[in-house]
Amino acid sequence: MSQFNTIAGWSLAGGIVALGASIVTNGMFHGERPETMGYVVEGVVEEGGEEEAEMTMAEAFTQVTVEQGEAVYRRCASCHTINEGGANGIGPNLWGKLGRDIASIPGFNYSDALSAIEGSWNFDNMSDWLARPAAFAQGTTMSFAGLSDPLDRAAVILYMNANGSNLPLPEPPAADETEAEDAEIEGEEAADPEAEADIEGGEAAEAEAAE
C-alpha cells in the first residue's frame, strides 16, 4: 500500500500546485479559468484515501442512511426540535431547514454572526456549518464544537433533508471519479469554493487521463 500512498501523496502535492497555479491564473486573467486547468498526473490511478482526504457530499450520501442520521441527531436534540411546527428551544426548530434561508425561523433570536450570512441552506454549506459552527459564523451562539467526521455530517444532513426538505440528492459520482475525488483536501475546500471548482475540473481531466 505504501506505493499507493506515495502516489496519492504526489497527487495531493499536484493539487496544491494546481491550486497555486489557479490563484495566479485568476489574478492574471480575472476569472478566465480554463476548465482543464488543474493537476493531471499522467497514468496515475489513486487508491484508497489519505488521512486528510475529504469526500464530496454526493459521495458521502452513498455511504450513510437516514437512520444513522437520526442517531447523530441525538447530539442536536438538547437544543433543537425537528418536528413540523416544533418549538424553538436554545436553537431554532429545524423542520424543512435545507433549502430555506439561513437564520430565518420567525421568533428566534439569531446572533448577528449567523444573521449576516446570505443565502439559503444547501448540502455543502450545511456540511461546512456543522463541521465547525464557530468557523462558519464567527460569533455564533450555537455552542456546539462540530461534527468532524464527514460521514456523521452527511448522515445528519440526510436525516434533516428527510424532515421537511426533501431536496434532490446530488448524483452519486461515477466509479472512476470516486477514486480521483479521494485526493481532495479538506482545507482547500473550506478555504475557497472557486478553487474547489478548479480542482474538480482537474479531477475530471485526471479521471479521463487515468482510464
Instruction: Catalog residues that contact ligand HEC under the rule CB under 6 A.
Output: 75-76, 78-80, 90-92, 94, 97, 102-105, 110-111, 113-114, 130, 137, 140-144, 147, 156
Rounded Cα distance between 40 and 65, Å, is: 34
87 vs 175 by CB, closer to ligand HEC = 87
| Minimum gap (Å) between residue 46 Cβ and ligand HEC | 31
Tell me which residue has cell 439561513.
Answer: 102
147 vs 154 by CB, closer to ligand HEC = 147
| Minimum gap (Å) between residue 121 Cβ and ligand HEC | 6
* Residues with Cβ within 8 Å of residue 197, at least 6 apart in sequence: 33
| Minimum gap (Å) between residue 17 Cβ and ligand HEC | 35
Phi/psi of residue 162, nearest 5 degrees? -75, -10
| Minimum gap (Å) between residue 29 Cβ and ligand HEC | 36
CB 69 within 8 A of CB 160: yes
12 vs 76 by CB, closer to ligand HEC = 76
| Minimum gap (Å) between residue 207 Cβ and ligand HEC | 32
Q: Which three cell numbers stand for residue 102?
A: 439561513
Q: Which three cell numbers stand for residue 57?
A: 457530499
78 vs 83 by CB, closer to ligand HEC = 78
CB 142 within 8 A of CB 131: no
How far is CA 115 from its chain centroid? Answer: 21
The CA-CA-CA angle for residues 71, 77, 82, to 5°, reads: 90
In terms of Cβ atoms closer than 10 Å to its own Cβ (0-12, 13-18, 19+), residue 100 is: middle
